[in-house]
Amino acid sequence: MFNASNDCGISADFIRLLKDAADGRFEPEKLPAGLNDSGVAEILAKIADARTAVKKNPLPMVITDPRLNIIDPNDAALEIFGWSREEALRLNIKDIDVLDLKGESIVVAVHEKRSISNEMTIRCPKGTLVLKSWGIPLLDPAGNVRGVQMEFVDVTAEKNAAADTAAWYESILDAVPFPITVTDLDMNWTFVNRAVENFLGRTRAEIMGHQCSEWQANICKTPNCGIACLRRGQHQTFFEQNGGNFQVDVSYIKNARGENVGHVEVVQDISVMVKASRYMEGEVQRLAGNLSRLAAGNLVFDTNIAPADRYTEEVRRNFVKIMESLAKVRENVGAMLEDAGLLARAAQDGRLQVRADATRMRVSSAQSSRTSTPRWTRSSRRSPRRTMSCNGWPSTTTRRG
């Protein structure tokens, strides 16, 4: 039998057994034999098992009173927060140093008598942690809150790994000198690299979630917008702005299931290529015209060269060299034509002593010292020459060279 009972007729020994069961301990041998058949032993065993399941559960759990004072932390909660049981029992949930909260506060669970969830970054004896938490109000039969059960999941490692991966990719994209922007399917920015930050004079944190039309490019909100082109199956578009020429390459971003979840746009400044190409086109046409005049014997050339800007200075220097060489060709050809005319007129006048001035020809020493060797166009045999024989009769002899 139990020892002396209290005023309610409940034995002190029985109360002790209930307390032990509530603490996860139950010793059936201490239960009087008369109660074994009454089902009390089974009830106490279930209470002890349930309590052990909570206490030893690897999921951190905390029970609070209606004022959010901690009254029962399990072992996993003590481990994750770095508290001793005595320290925990002196704390209120609101004593936790919350650095960031995404979701609803535990206070809502008490005031509105409904479950809540959130993600919070806290500072505790174990360091800075990122926890997902759930709060469940515990109600009495009258519907009053008699406590709150809180459960926690430590996602610090996952968050740190994700942050490290994001930082790794951001570092790569920030190193690319071309502006790169990422938008969701509603054309809101979800990422921009450092080149975009420098161009806009704003940080990525400031423009996250904003419409990409804040680029204020002259193709924004037009059919030539990069994303508008992509939706028509066109992955590239071009535009001119502030004296520059730009190319936009755009593609869809897909998830693991191959579904479109956003867009990525890469902008390149192609001003040098475009302006150099246009400059070259004009100067090549000028050069072609001069060569056509030369072929026709017209030495009146267009020797002008278009002025350059900062994009075409190198191209212009090359065309200056070409034009200088062409001017030398014109000078030499002009001298040759002049000398040819001089020799032709001298020959007509019988002035065979007239010679051209070779010093006027800008040829190499090898060319100027080269001598011509006569060639026989029909035969190497000279034609016969008539001479007088010793007796005065004509005779025919052949002179060989």
Q: Higher pLDDT residue, 2 or 354?
A: 354
Q: Is the pLDDT of residue 151 over 50?
A: yes
pLDDT score recorded for residue 341: 78
Q: In angstroms, rounded to a whole number, what is the distance separating the alpha carbons of residues 361 and 363?
A: 6
pLDDT score recorded for residue 134: 97
> What pLDDT, in 10s, does the model give residues 312-359?
888 899 989 998 888 888 888 888 878 787 778 877 777 776 666 655
Q: Is the pLDDT of residue 384 over 90?
A: no
Mean pLDDT of 155-178: 94
Q: In angstroms, rounded to a whole number, what is the distance separating the alpha carbons of residues 233 and 106?
A: 49
Q: In angstroms, rounded to a whole number, what is the distance separating the alpha carbons of residues 166 and 62?
A: 33
pLDDT score recorded for residue 233: 96
Q: In angstroms, rounded to a whole number, what is the distance separating the alpha carbons of residues 289 and 291?
A: 5
> What pLDDT, in 10s, does the model give residues 216-272?
999 999 999 999 999 999 999 999 988 889 999 999 999 999 999 999 999 999 998
State the Cα torsion 46-52-54-60 to the nearest 10°: -170
Q: What angle do CA 106, 111, 113 make, to 5 degrees?
A: 85
Q: Is the pLDDT of residue 31 over 80?
A: no
The pTM of the full predicted model, rounded to 2 decimals, is 0.58
How confident is residue 35, by pLDDT bands cut at 50, 70 and 90?
low
Mean pLDDT of 28-57: 67
Least confident of 170-179, 255-264, 288-297: 288-297
Q: Higher pLDDT residue, 38 or 155?
A: 155
